Amino acid sequence: MTTGFTLWFTGLSGAGKSTISEIVERELRALGRKVEVLDGDVVRTHLSKGLGFSKEDRDTNIRRIGWVCEVLSRNDVIAIAAAISPYRAVRDEVRERHGGRFIEIFIDVPLEVAIERDVKGLYKKALAGEIKGFTGVDDPYEPPLDPELIIHTDQETPQASAARILTALRQLGYL
């Protein structure tokens, strides 16, 4: 039996996906597990360079991340995807391809909080009309309907969120 699986972190820009995924990665490595993180920003630089932000390009980006996670997880690696992945249908498609070894974690935060945390200044530009098609501003984010876990990052620390994820993984029988 394979010991790999995919943790799929989804949520708005600034929700805390990267921060929490890094903590979870460290904790899983400390348990002796093989782990790889596919962060949306890093993937766009390497795996998805040249893709834009149209719905078609975003879906292609998520399918690529999903495929890499699928390959890693079937080779006994815990794949962590930390990507906005705004469209429910393509997330569900990626889930389906994983054959049940897929844990969707909705990193939920009110838009106002994400805007406050905007270290890259992207929301400011989007709200000023300088960036078109920005998720949560003038392009939709479709929250998961039935994720395995919802994390409200405006209500707890990243460390507490990571601890809840690890507890859930134990309860679900992944650890």
The number of beta carbons lying within 10 Å of the beta carbon of residue 52 is 11
Q: Return the C-alpha torsion angle 37, 120, 108, 91, nearest 10.
A: -50
Q: Tokens at residue 38, please? A: 């596919």
- Dihedral sign of CA atoms 157, 108, 139, 93 in order: positive
Which candidate in 13, 18, 85, 161 is catalytic? 85
d(C-alpha 13, C-alpha 118), whole Å: 8
Q: Which H helix or E strand runs over 26?
A: helix 17-30
For residue 52, give the 3-state DSSP assignment. coil
d(C-alpha 173, C-alpha 103), whole Å: 12
Q: Tokens at residue 47, please? A: 């795996």
- Does residue 85 have an active-site annotation? yes
Residues with active-site annotation: 85
